[in-house]
Structures are given as C-alpha cells and as structure tokens.
Structure 1
Amino acid sequence: MQVILISGLSGSGKSIALNVLEDSGFYCVDNLPAQLLPNITGFLDQAGHTRIAISVDVRSGDQISQLPDIIEHLKAQGLDLRLLFLEAKTDTLVKRFSETRRRHPLSNDRLTLKECIQIERDLLEPISALGHRIDTSDLNANSLRTWIKDFVGFDRSRLTLLFQSFGFKHGIPLDADFVFDVRCLPNPHYDPLLRPLNGKDAAVAAFLESDASVRKMLGDIRHFVEDWLPCFIRDNRNYLTVALGCTGGQHRSVYFAEKLTAHFRTEGQQAMVRHRELS
C-alpha cells in the first residue's frame, strides 16, 4: 500500500494537492487526527485500498506533536509512506486568507493572523524536515497541480534530484536544500534581442556558453552535487532540491537548471526541473 501524507501551513494549497491525488486514483482522507493514522491505514489496507492520501495538519491540535513518532513507527513496519509538506511566505498566506475570507484554524480573540501563522509554522517545523517541501508562495494552482503529479510519478525507492530556477527579486524558495547564486554571470537581459527569451532558448544558451565564467560555474556546481549526492542517498533522502537563482529567474538560472537536469539524467540519476518564475 502506498500512502502519501500531506501536511503544511493553512492556506498553502493542501486542498489542491489532495484533489489532484484524488483525481489520480488515490483514496483521500482530509483532516485526520494524527493519532488515528495507524488505525486508518490498517483499516484501508484490509479494505483493499492500495493508494491512499491523507491530510494531517495543525487542526489535529496537540496530537500533531506525535506525528514524527507515528511516521517513524509506520515506516519501521514496512509501510510505503511519503510526506509532502506545503508552505508559503507569511505575506502570501495573509493575502490568501484575506482573499478567501477564511478563518485560520488557530485564530481567536487574542491573536492576529500573522501571529497565528507563526505559531502554526513553529508547531509544524519538526514535521517539515521529514518529507519533500514545496514552497507555493509564487505558484498558481495549475503549476502546483503539475508539481504534485511529478511528485507522485517518480520511483519512490530512489532519490530524486530537483533543480529549480528562481529570481532573487521574488525571494528565495523555502523548499531549497542548496541555493546557488548565478547573478555574477553575464546577463542576457541587457541584450534587446535576448530579453524576450528565456534560458531554454538556443540563442540564450549560446550567449551564456560563450563565456568562460559560465562554463566554470556550471562545472563547479555539477561537481559539488556529484560529490555530495552519495551522502544524501546514504541518508535515505527521497528528494534533494537544488535552487539556482539569478535576478529575474528568466535566463541564467533557467539555463543552469536545464543543463544540470540534462546532465544528471544522462548519468542515470532520477532528476526533474522546475522554473518558478516561468510558470
């Protein structure tokens, strides 16, 4: 039985993720109290369900603190369980709650919305490190749906390398394990012919590849990931996110993410690419 556990901050897109998994054939359970996780997985296993998605978050109350131990116990029993943790910047969450006029699960007469979000973030911090994190701050719903489908589709027994391009002016991704800054390299943005293009276009690639500093930095990053990847595999990591950032997230970072993904795929590594600002 395959179990995908969805957790994260309120307003970060957990409902969208659950809907995508339901459309993909998963039996979905929303807002399950953490303590009931062993019971429901056992019950659904006996009922013949082989693909299950369960949402567990701060609505479980004090029980949420038990979730790491429960996950460890279920994995020790041989259950194929993966955690997907969604998060977003505080200002983004405040804006989403304002737009939807929804009430935060921790809200009361004494706490502001920002205080509720920070308390929730602190409560869920021990859980966020247990699974694959996705920062939904700058994602629209369609992009998030695509990323969730990618998450489900990869071989669960192997580590997946994720190369993500982004623009520093829009903020650093919260879900990155490593962040590389390529803003010191020549910028195609200042060429009027290249400005409308992005790092996936041949003309931009040719412009960047003609510069020795670009080639050297690309090689240095590739060697760094190659050198340390075995350590993360031995640590039983399922996902490793490498973020490449330039100013706007259109040219240099996109080029680097594409080239690194192509290289590691040819080496037989399970690799995927995301372009945050192109979505």
Structure 2
Amino acid sequence: MIDDDTLPGTERFDPRATHLVVLTGMSGGGKTVALRALEDLEFYCVDNLPPALLPQLVDAVGRGAGRRRRIAVGVDVRNRGADFTHLPTILSELAATGVQPHLIFLDCRNDVLLKRYSETRRRHPLATRGMSLADAIGKERRLLRPLMAIAEKVIDSSELNVHQLRRLVATGYAQATKGLTLMFQSFAFKRGLPLDSDFVFDARCLPNPHWQPRLRPLTGKDAPVREYLDNEPLVAEYLADTARWLDAWLPRFEQDDRSYVTIAIGCTGGRHRSVYLVEQLAARYRDHRESVLTFHRELD
C-alpha cells in the first residue's frame, strides 16, 4: 500500500500540457474505481483502449478545438500480446511530442484477488476453459510484470476498500485541477462516521422519506424522493444554511493552500436525506467550481 499523500507526477502537472494517465494492473485490483475517480476530476476517460490507439486518442481529444488536457485510459489483459510489448514505446513517442504520460499500476495480493472474485462471482478475463482462477491470476501477473517494472507508481490495493482507493486517487490528482476539489459524501450514522471527513453535517432532523412506504425502497437520487424533499420547507432551509456556511469558510481553506476538502452529510440510513443533500450541494458548486466529487457510502 502506498504511504504518501500524492500520486506520482502530480507535483509536475503543467496546466498548459496534455497529460495522459494510463491505468493498468491486476484484474480486480481497482482500475475501474481509479478511472471513475479521475472521471470525477474532469479527466476524459476511456476504458480498455488498445495501446496502439493512444496517439489517435490524444490527437482527437487533447489537440482539437475543444481540447481536453487531462486524459485517463484503462489498459488491461483484455488487450493482449503485442499491445503490452509496445506500450512503453508508444508512451515514449507521445512524450517526445510534448504529452506528459503517467503510468500507474494497480496491484493486489493473489489471496485478496481470489477472495474478491469469489465474493463477486465475476469471471477472470484469462480464465478460459480448463484454467483455474489461481492459474489465471498467475498468468496475468507474468504478462503484466514488464509494465509494473516501468510504472511511475505501484498502488497495492490489498488493504484498501473502494472508498479509500477512490479518495487516494482523487486526492492525488486534485492538484492537477484548478482550485479546491470538493468531495461531498453521504453516509449512515448507524454505521459510524467517515474517518476521512473534514466537515460533518447531521441531517437526521429533517423529514424522513423512509416513513413513506412508496419511497422507502428508493434513494435520494430517485425523482419521487427528490420531489418529496423539494417540497419540504425545512429541507430547503437546511440546504441554504449549509451552503451559506460553506461559502463563508471554503475560501479560507483555499487561502491555506488546501487542494481537497471532504464534506460528509449523514442521516439514519444513508439512503434518502443525506444522498439528496449531497447531490443538491454538488450540483450547486459544480456551477462555479471545476472539481466537485460525490460519493454515497451506503450506495456505492
């Protein structure tokens, strides 16, 4: 598990350059979670792209009229053979054109991978007929060893849950964005406080959709729940007061050179009120901030 607060290359992110983050590693190691975290940071993200197409992607996305300067691509064993052999050369050629490549390898212990596949019942991409899961993992590790050797950073996700990995990637690359990155997180008080929160707001005083039978199986993302809470004056007052407080104090954190702040909002079950409030606040701040992330602990 990595022990620093930032990912490689973040200290040298030039806002004028096009940056290409290539995420690779063991299947089940968290590549999809990492890619989604970068997508939340306004990276243009593509999963499972053949490495040979990287130059065309950079040309199309990073150098056109509506160019995007931050691109993230997932590469895994579904792209086999010569794709892995040629990736270092492709990245070197892109670097020679002025693109700044960053190769990140997501690793995980074999015993943890076996457990993850057992729990999710997913099929390993190399587990062909007659090959055991353990053998498929071993074969994948051998195929990926050359990329692991040249990666800027290897992240071992063995002891990380999806929330910790997502925050790790997001905080590491928050420095690549302009201004303060905000993470709005919903949670259930009955499952404890999120330990990584900077501010915690308690929404248990608000009307609870849980007690409406038709709303109980839904979440704060669903239209019927939103409509119910939209029509509650106390909810509107809570939102306005919370936004007013954040407007007053977030600039102080920016002046203190903070790059990332997590605002956690909790309710009893973490499915209705807190989710609704997180989505409403995130939408409000996305109107004038570049990097606003959301995470729903009890849903994701």
TM-score category (smaller protein) = 0.5 to 0.7
CA distance in 1, matches of 2:166, 2:39: 12
CA distance in 2, matches of 1:50, 1:154: 14
Q: What's the offset of the Cα at 1:74?
A: 1.4
Unaligned 5+ residue runs, structure 1? 156-279
Is the 1:11–1:97 contact (alpha carbons within 8 Å) kept by the matching residues of 2?
A: yes
Q: 1:26-105, aligned counterparts within 5 Å?
A: 26-47=43-64, 48-62=67-81, 63-105=83-125
Is the 1:9–1:120 contact (alpha carbons within 8 Å) kept by the matching residues of 2?
A: yes
**Which residue of 136, 154, 165 corresponds with 1:144?**
165
**In the TM superposition, what whole-angstrom CA distance separates every residue of 1:27-48 from its partner, at most 9, and x where no partner exists?**
1100001111111111112331
Q: What's the offset of the Cα at 1:72?
A: 1.7
TM-score (ref. length: structure 2): 0.50
Q: 1:118-197, aligned counterparts within 5 Å?
A: 118-129=138-149, 130-154=151-175
**In the TM superposition, what whole-angstrom CA distance separates every residue of 1:114-148 from its partner, at most 9, and x where no partner exists?**
11111111111111122211000010111111210
| Code of the aligned partner of 1:3 | L
Q: What's the offset of the Cα at 1:68?
A: 1.5
Is the 2:43–2:70 contact (alpha carbons within 8 Å) kept by the matching residues of 1?
A: yes
CA distance in 2, matches of 1:17, 1:93: 17
Is the 2:29–2:106 contact (alpha carbons within 8 Å) kept by the matching residues of 1?
A: yes
The answer as to 2:130 corresponding to 1:113 is: no
Aligned sequence identity (%)? 42
Residue 84 of structure 2: SS of its match in structure 1? Answer: helix
Query: Structure 1: which 4+ aligned runs deviate by more than 3 Å?
Result: none
| Code of the aligned partner of 1:8 | G
| Code of the aligned partner of 2:157 | T
Is the 2:41–2:174 contact (alpha carbons within 8 Å) kept by the matching residues of 1?
A: no
Is the 1:68–1:126 contact (alpha carbons within 8 Å) kept by the matching residues of 2?
A: no
Residue 49 of structure 1: SS of its match in structure 2? Answer: coil
| CA RMSD in angstroms, aligned pairs only | 1.6
Count of aligned pairs: 156
Is the 1:2–1:79 contact (alpha carbons within 8 Å) kept by the matching residues of 2?
A: yes
Partner of 2:31: 14
Is the 1:31–1:56 contact (alpha carbons within 8 Å) kept by the matching residues of 2?
A: yes
TM-score (ref. length: structure 1): 0.53
Q: What's the offset of the Cα at 1:154?
A: 4.7
Is the 1:30–1:55 contact (alpha carbons within 8 Å) kept by the matching residues of 2?
A: yes
Q: What's the offset of the Cα at 1:71?
A: 1.4
Unaligned 5+ residue runs, structure 2? 1-17, 177-300
